[in-house]
Amino acid sequence: HSSRSSRSSHKMATVREAEAEGAAEAGADAAGEQVDRDDWMVCPVRWAELDQEFGPFTVDACVAESRANAYCYLSWSKAEDARVQKFDGHNAWGNLPFSIIVAIIKNFLKCKRRQQWGTAACFLVPVWPGNEGWELVRSLPEVFKVVREWAQGTHLFTAPDLRGHGRTAWGPTRWPVVVVRVGPEPVALPDWA
Protein backbone atom coordinates (compact mmCIF):
# COMPACT_ATOMS: atom_id res chain seq x y z
CA HIS A 1 0.00 0.00 0.00
CA SER A 2 1.43 3.36 -1.00
CA SER A 3 1.95 6.05 1.57
CA ARG A 4 -0.94 8.45 1.84
CA SER A 5 1.55 11.29 1.82
CA SER A 6 2.68 10.41 -1.70
CA ARG A 7 -0.56 11.46 -3.37
CA SER A 8 1.31 13.35 -6.09
CA SER A 9 2.81 10.09 -7.31
CA HIS A 10 -0.60 8.69 -8.09
CA LYS A 11 -3.01 9.68 -10.81
CA MET A 12 -5.39 12.43 -9.83
CA ALA A 13 -5.36 11.54 -6.10
CA THR A 14 -4.68 15.15 -5.20
CA VAL A 15 -7.67 16.36 -7.16
CA ARG A 16 -10.29 15.35 -4.61
CA GLU A 17 -10.79 16.96 -1.24
CA ALA A 18 -8.27 15.79 1.36
CA GLU A 19 -11.01 15.04 3.88
CA ALA A 20 -12.88 12.83 1.42
CA GLU A 21 -9.67 10.99 0.55
CA GLY A 22 -8.79 10.40 4.19
CA ALA A 23 -12.27 9.17 5.02
CA ALA A 24 -12.42 6.92 1.97
CA GLU A 25 -9.00 5.42 2.66
CA ALA A 26 -9.82 4.91 6.32
CA GLY A 27 -12.97 3.06 5.31
CA ALA A 28 -11.10 0.97 2.74
CA ASP A 29 -8.28 0.23 5.16
CA ALA A 30 -10.76 -0.83 7.83
CA ALA A 31 -12.35 -3.18 5.33
CA GLY A 32 -8.94 -4.56 4.35
CA GLU A 33 -9.16 -3.17 0.81
CA GLN A 34 -6.56 -1.48 -1.35
CA VAL A 35 -7.39 1.95 -2.73
CA ASP A 36 -6.64 2.01 -6.47
CA ARG A 37 -5.56 5.59 -7.02
CA ASP A 38 -4.95 4.94 -10.72
CA ASP A 39 -8.64 4.38 -11.37
CA TRP A 40 -9.65 8.00 -11.91
CA MET A 41 -11.90 8.82 -14.83
CA VAL A 42 -13.18 12.05 -16.34
CA CYS A 43 -16.97 12.13 -16.09
CA PRO A 44 -18.44 10.38 -19.15
CA VAL A 45 -20.37 13.43 -20.40
CA ARG A 46 -17.25 15.60 -20.42
CA TRP A 47 -15.17 12.89 -22.11
CA ALA A 48 -17.87 12.32 -24.75
CA GLU A 49 -17.77 16.03 -25.64
CA LEU A 50 -14.00 15.82 -26.16
CA ASP A 51 -14.28 12.59 -28.15
CA GLN A 52 -16.96 14.08 -30.38
CA GLU A 53 -14.93 17.22 -31.04
CA PHE A 54 -11.41 15.75 -31.29
CA GLY A 55 -11.93 12.00 -31.70
CA PRO A 56 -12.40 9.32 -32.22
CA PHE A 57 -9.60 8.60 -29.78
CA THR A 58 -7.76 5.40 -30.63
CA VAL A 59 -5.92 4.79 -27.35
CA ASP A 60 -6.46 5.68 -23.70
CA ALA A 61 -2.86 6.25 -22.66
CA CYS A 62 -3.10 5.74 -18.88
CA VAL A 63 -5.63 3.46 -17.25
CA ALA A 64 -5.90 1.27 -14.17
CA GLU A 65 -4.72 -2.34 -14.41
CA SER A 66 -8.39 -3.40 -14.32
CA ARG A 67 -9.09 -1.07 -17.26
CA ALA A 68 -12.31 -0.04 -15.48
CA ASN A 69 -11.55 3.60 -16.32
CA ALA A 70 -10.66 3.04 -19.99
CA TYR A 71 -12.67 4.90 -22.59
CA CYS A 72 -10.96 3.34 -25.62
CA TYR A 73 -10.81 -0.26 -26.78
CA LEU A 74 -7.00 0.04 -26.85
CA SER A 75 -5.55 1.23 -23.56
CA TRP A 76 -2.24 1.24 -21.72
CA SER A 77 -1.91 0.57 -18.01
CA LYS A 78 1.24 0.73 -15.87
CA ALA A 79 2.22 -2.63 -17.34
CA GLU A 80 2.24 -1.25 -20.90
CA ASP A 81 3.82 2.05 -19.74
CA ALA A 82 2.92 5.07 -21.88
CA ARG A 83 6.45 6.41 -21.30
CA VAL A 84 7.71 3.87 -23.87
CA GLN A 85 4.66 3.16 -26.05
CA LYS A 86 4.45 4.21 -29.69
CA PHE A 87 1.91 7.00 -30.03
CA ASP A 88 2.77 7.14 -33.76
CA GLY A 89 -0.43 7.38 -35.81
CA HIS A 90 -2.70 7.36 -32.75
CA ASN A 91 -5.17 9.97 -31.63
CA ALA A 92 -4.55 9.49 -27.91
CA TRP A 93 -6.52 10.46 -24.83
CA GLY A 94 -4.54 10.79 -21.61
CA ASN A 95 -5.46 11.46 -18.00
CA LEU A 96 -1.79 11.19 -17.06
CA PRO A 97 -0.37 10.31 -13.62
CA PHE A 98 1.32 13.33 -12.02
CA SER A 99 4.48 11.41 -11.21
CA ILE A 100 5.25 10.54 -14.84
CA ILE A 101 3.37 13.21 -16.81
CA VAL A 102 6.55 14.85 -18.17
CA ALA A 103 8.05 11.53 -19.31
CA ILE A 104 4.84 10.58 -21.11
CA ILE A 105 4.55 13.97 -22.82
CA LYS A 106 8.19 13.81 -23.93
CA ASN A 107 7.65 10.31 -25.33
CA PHE A 108 4.55 11.53 -27.17
CA LEU A 109 6.53 14.40 -28.71
CA LYS A 110 9.26 12.01 -29.91
CA CYS A 111 6.57 9.89 -31.54
CA LYS A 112 5.01 13.01 -33.08
CA ARG A 113 8.40 13.90 -34.57
CA ARG A 114 8.68 10.42 -36.14
CA GLN A 115 5.18 10.56 -37.61
CA GLN A 116 3.86 14.11 -37.77
CA TRP A 117 0.76 13.34 -39.85
CA GLY A 118 -1.88 11.45 -37.91
CA THR A 119 -0.24 11.51 -34.47
CA ALA A 120 -2.45 13.52 -32.13
CA ALA A 121 -3.48 13.71 -28.49
CA CYS A 122 -5.61 15.35 -25.84
CA PHE A 123 -4.00 15.34 -22.40
CA LEU A 124 -5.67 16.38 -19.17
CA VAL A 125 -3.31 18.55 -17.11
CA PRO A 126 -3.88 20.03 -13.64
CA VAL A 127 -2.83 23.65 -13.36
CA TRP A 128 -0.91 24.67 -10.27
CA PRO A 129 2.41 26.44 -9.75
CA GLY A 130 5.30 24.03 -9.91
CA ASN A 131 3.42 21.29 -11.78
CA GLU A 132 6.10 20.20 -14.26
CA GLY A 133 3.53 18.83 -16.71
CA TRP A 134 1.70 22.14 -16.86
CA GLU A 135 4.97 24.06 -17.10
CA LEU A 136 6.07 21.87 -20.04
CA VAL A 137 2.88 22.21 -22.11
CA ARG A 138 2.63 25.91 -21.28
CA SER A 139 6.19 26.41 -22.57
CA LEU A 140 5.18 25.01 -25.98
CA PRO A 141 2.09 27.01 -27.04
CA GLU A 142 2.82 26.35 -30.72
CA VAL A 143 2.45 22.61 -30.01
CA PHE A 144 -0.13 22.34 -27.21
CA LYS A 145 -3.41 24.24 -27.56
CA VAL A 146 -5.66 24.55 -24.51
CA VAL A 147 -9.06 23.28 -25.68
CA ARG A 148 -10.86 23.00 -22.31
CA GLU A 149 -10.49 24.85 -19.05
CA TRP A 150 -12.23 23.88 -15.83
CA ALA A 151 -12.05 26.11 -12.78
CA GLN A 152 -11.07 24.95 -9.33
CA GLY A 153 -14.12 23.40 -7.73
CA THR A 154 -15.42 21.68 -10.87
CA HIS A 155 -16.92 18.22 -10.43
CA LEU A 156 -14.84 16.40 -13.01
CA PHE A 157 -13.83 12.89 -11.91
CA THR A 158 -15.25 9.55 -10.88
CA ALA A 159 -13.52 6.71 -9.06
CA PRO A 160 -14.58 3.31 -7.75
CA ASP A 161 -17.13 3.45 -4.96
CA LEU A 162 -15.38 2.00 -1.93
CA ARG A 163 -18.55 0.13 -0.96
CA GLY A 164 -18.35 -1.79 -4.24
CA HIS A 165 -21.29 -0.07 -5.95
CA GLY A 166 -19.79 0.94 -9.29
CA ARG A 167 -18.31 4.42 -9.68
CA THR A 168 -18.92 7.60 -7.74
CA ALA A 169 -18.14 11.28 -8.17
CA TRP A 170 -15.27 12.40 -5.94
CA GLY A 171 -16.18 16.01 -5.42
CA PRO A 172 -14.75 19.25 -6.71
CA THR A 173 -11.24 19.62 -8.06
CA ARG A 174 -8.78 21.43 -5.83
CA TRP A 175 -7.07 23.15 -8.79
CA PRO A 176 -8.00 24.36 -12.24
CA VAL A 177 -7.67 21.66 -14.89
CA VAL A 178 -7.11 21.99 -18.64
CA VAL A 179 -7.15 19.71 -21.63
CA VAL A 180 -4.42 20.41 -24.14
CA ARG A 181 -4.55 19.27 -27.75
CA VAL A 182 -1.88 18.42 -30.31
CA GLY A 183 -3.59 17.99 -33.66
CA PRO A 184 -2.87 15.36 -36.33
CA GLU A 185 -1.12 17.83 -38.63
CA PRO A 186 2.62 18.67 -38.53
CA VAL A 187 3.75 21.12 -35.84
CA ALA A 188 7.06 22.80 -35.03
CA LEU A 189 8.62 20.69 -32.29
CA PRO A 190 11.45 21.58 -29.93
CA ASP A 191 14.88 20.24 -30.89
CA TRP A 192 14.96 17.85 -27.93
CA ALA A 193 11.78 16.05 -29.02
Domain boundaries, the chain: 4-182
Mean of pLDDT values over 50-65: 94
pTM of the entire structure?
0.77
pLDDT at 26: 31
For residues 16 and 67, which has the higher predicted lDDT (pLDDT)? 67
* Average pLDDT score over residue span 150-178: 80
Q: If one looks up domain 4-182 in CATH, what number appears? A: 3.40.50
- Triad 69, 75, 81: Cα angle to 5°: 105
The dihedral built from the CA positions of residue 131, 178, 98 and 112, taken in this order, carries a sign that is: negative
pLDDT of residue 155: 86
Cα–Cα distances (Å) from 155 to 28, 111, 152, in that order, read: 22, 33, 9
Mean pLDDT of 170-191: 91
**Region 112-134: what's the mean pLDDT?**
95
